[in-house]
A and B are shown apart, each in its own frame.
Chain A
Amino acid sequence: MSFSEAFLEILITAALLWTGGGAVALIVLLLIDWRRGNLW
């Protein structure tokens, strides 16, 4: 596997995990803010 092939695979996998993780992080933060009465 060449460097650029590995780079492409890692980049795409990381981007998808990062994006999905972002959605989860937002929901968790919302629950924390809601529990603490910090929504707005």
Chain B
Amino acid sequence: MPEFFLAQSSVSPATGWIIVLVLGVLWVALGIFWGRKAKDSEGFMLAGRNVGLSLGSATAMATWVTSNTTMLAPVFALTLGIWGMLAYSTASFGLLLFALFAGRIRTLLPKGVTAGDFFRLRYGRFGWSLFLIITMLYSLSWLVSMAIAGGDLLLALAGIPYLQGMSLILIVCVLYTLFGGLYAVIGTDFLQSVIILLGIVLIGGLVVSQLEFSEAYEHIQTYQPSLLKIAMPAALLAVFNNMLFGFGEVFHNNVWWSRAFAMKKEIAPKAFALAGILWFPIPIAAGFIALAAGPLGINITEANQTGPTVAAAVLGNAGLGAFAGVLILVVLFCSMASSIDSLLAATSDLLIRDVNEGLFKHKVDEKRFRKLAAIVILSVGALTWLLAAPHWPIINALFISGPLVGSLIWPVIAGLFWKRVNRGFVIAGILAGSALGVWAYFTLGWFTASLVGAGVSMVATLLGRFISPGPFPDSTELTSESS
């Protein structure tokens, strides 16, 4: 076995600034260029409802590849072994199932704009308000945790002070979303997804080329045998918990609904299915490198830096030491930007459409739309910055929101595919599922929370199917093609 060394993974602060600024200027320039296509509010929020298969698949896939995927997958592999990687991959099932929903969404709401339209139509004002509270908590904690991860990344890889790095990444994403709306988000997502995929394959390929599988296997079996166990109870629970968390995240969130509305109607199911298929291997391809750490003699001092540490060592050993930090920074920056931009756009749409127009009854005409959209995007960006600046452990809020979004899985399924349901039962199920799921998070363990949230809500929704079910309220406002 060759002798390995831990390469210097970091780039200089100046190089870090240059990389982010060059990519940032590119994204903003493309955002401005593509944003010219947005002639009205529908163009800005939904990219003209005419997005094709390639851009549609790439944007769905790229949005689902976050810094958690590229950074946490190796940690899962390091602590939970083979099942840890597979557990993470099950998050792709959310996209695959959403493919089945996308066609129904477009049929049910041909003029829909946000996920809030669906909840208002199906579950009335109270159910809609409940959805808004849950989705805002989830979206904001996701957004803030991405911004924090961005600041941490630039600090770890380039030595750029946390506040400067976090601000830099956030400003870049706010700017191109501001100028180009969903056109900019979808266009840049395509480029970012190709960079992410190729970067992961390059790093993974180098690891494989330097790894003797039989020796590596023997090493793991000797020193970390639990990682190779097929039946590892905690990991198996994590598989189901992660899958349900992923279902809840995808089924309810406006990030995905806005894409379903943005794609051509016949394309949307295919694009989500393809995105799920393309996403499935990523946590394995990005995660397995952690299993190589021991056999390759790479010392992991911080578990959450497993991915970059192994990648840097392997690239260094391949004679690409100087290139290592740049490649890792570019891949991780792309995986963060592709999620931050989507969350900024989708959350702003919810605030404009559901909160401003829906709750506060402020009708926005086309002339004032872009100004309002700019104010809202800047405000969401500013709020994210304020919450990210103190570097609180916001990632915990994201994990705690698991049972909350898990409790929305069955209400979405019922609202899309059933004709009648007892809406009181459904809403009670969301409340009980959320409360008991959060309780389970703190008392039983994180890997049970989404299971409990989704399970309780499922029971209540199924009861609502059989006990005094009523038809959904008639609304022609969003269901008519001609509206």
Which residues of A come within 8 Å of B, CB atoms? 1-2, 4-5, 7-9, 11-16, 18-20, 22-23, 25-27, 29-30, 32-33, 38-40
Asked if A40 contacts B197 (CB within 8 A), the reply is: no
Asked if A16 contacts B194 (CB within 8 A), the reply is: no
Is B280 an interface position by the 8 A CB rule?
yes
Q: Which residue of B lies closest to A4 (CB)?
A: B228
Contacts of B61 in A (CB 8 A): 22
Is B230 an interface position by the 8 A CB rule?
yes
Q: Which residue of A lies closest to B227 (CB)?
A: A8
Contacts of A4 in B (CB 8 A): 82, 217, 228, 230
Is B50 an interface position by the 8 A CB rule?
yes
Is B183 an interface position by the 8 A CB rule?
yes
Asked if A20 contacts B54 (CB within 8 A), the reply is: no
Known: A12-B208, A23-B197, A30-B54. A18 touches B281 (CB 8 A): yes
- Minimum distance in angstroms from B336 CB to a CB of chain A: 19
Partner of A19, one of B82, B200, B230, B274: B200
Asked if B197 contacts A8 (CB within 8 A), the reply is: no
Q: Which residue of B lies closest to A23 (CB)?
A: B197
Q: Tell which of A4, A11, A26, A27 has the most Cβ of chain B within 10 Å.
A: A26
Asked if B282 contacts A8 (CB within 8 A), the reply is: no
- Minimum distance in angstroms from A30 CB to a CB of chain B: 4
Closest 4 CB pairs of A and B: A29-B54, A15-B284, A23-B197, A18-B281
Query: Can you list 15 A-B pairs, Cβ within 8 angstroms, ordered by A?
Result: A1-B214, A4-B217, A4-B230, A8-B82, A15-B281, A15-B282, A15-B285, A16-B205, A19-B281, A20-B198, A26-B278, A27-B194, A40-B37, A40-B50, A40-B183
Asked if A30 contacts B190 (CB within 8 A), the reply is: yes
Partner of B288, one of A2, A15, A32: A15
Asked if B228 contacts A20 (CB within 8 A), the reply is: no
A15 to B82, CA, bound (A): 13
Contacts of A27 in B (CB 8 A): 194
Contacts of B217 in A (CB 8 A): 2, 4-5, 8-9
Which residues of B come within 8 Å of A, CB atoms? 37, 47-48, 50-55, 57-58, 61, 82, 85, 183, 186, 190, 193-194, 197-198, 200-201, 204-205, 208, 213-214, 217, 228, 230, 274, 277-278, 280-282, 284-285, 288, 291
The secondary structure that dominates the A interface is helix
Asked if B278 contacts A22 (CB within 8 A), the reply is: yes
- A14-B281, A29-B57, A40-B50 given; 8 more Cβ-contact pairs under 8 Å: A4-B82, A4-B230, A5-B214, A12-B204, A15-B282, A23-B194, A33-B53, A40-B52
A25 to B57, CA, bound (A): 10
A14 to B201, CA, bound (A): 11
Q: Which residue of A lies closest to B186 (CB)?
A: A40
Contacts of A23 in B (CB 8 A): 193-194, 197-198, 201
- Minimum distance in angstroms from A11 CB to a CB of chain B: 6
Contacts of A39 in B (CB 8 A): 51-52, 54-55
Known: A13-B208, A26-B54, A29-B54. A20 touches B278 (CB 8 A): no
A11 to B52, CA, bound (A): 31
Asked if B52 contacts A33 (CB within 8 A), the reply is: yes
Partner of A32, one of B48, B54, B274: B54
A22 to B280, CA, bound (A): 10
A22 to B201, CA, bound (A): 10
A26 to B282, CA, bound (A): 15
Asked if A26 contacts B208 (CB within 8 A), the reply is: no
Partner of B51, one of A2, A7, A19, A40: A40
- Minimum distance in angstroms from A31 CB to a CB of chain B: 8
Asked if B281 contacts A29 (CB within 8 A), the reply is: no
- Minimum distance in angstroms from A27 CB to a CB of chain B: 7
Partner of B82, one of A11, A13, A33, A38: A11
A32 to B198, CA, bound (A): 20
Q: Which residue of B lies closest to A28 (CB)?
A: B54
Asked if A19 contacts B285 (CB within 8 A), the reply is: yes
Asked if A16 contacts B47 (CB within 8 A), the reply is: no
Contacts of B200 in A (CB 8 A): 19
A2 to B214, CA, bound (A): 10
A29 to B58, CA, bound (A): 10
Contacts of B208 in A (CB 8 A): 12-13, 16
Contacts of A1 in B (CB 8 A): 214
Asked if A29 contacts B285 (CB within 8 A), the reply is: no
Known: A9-B213, A26-B190. A19 touches B201 (CB 8 A): yes
- Minimum distance in angstroms from A8 CB to a CB of chain B: 6
Contacts of B280 in A (CB 8 A): 18
A27 to B204, CA, bound (A): 20
Contacts of A8 in B (CB 8 A): 82, 213, 217, 228, 291
Q: Tell which of B204, B205, B285 has the most Cβ of chain A within 10 Å.
A: B285
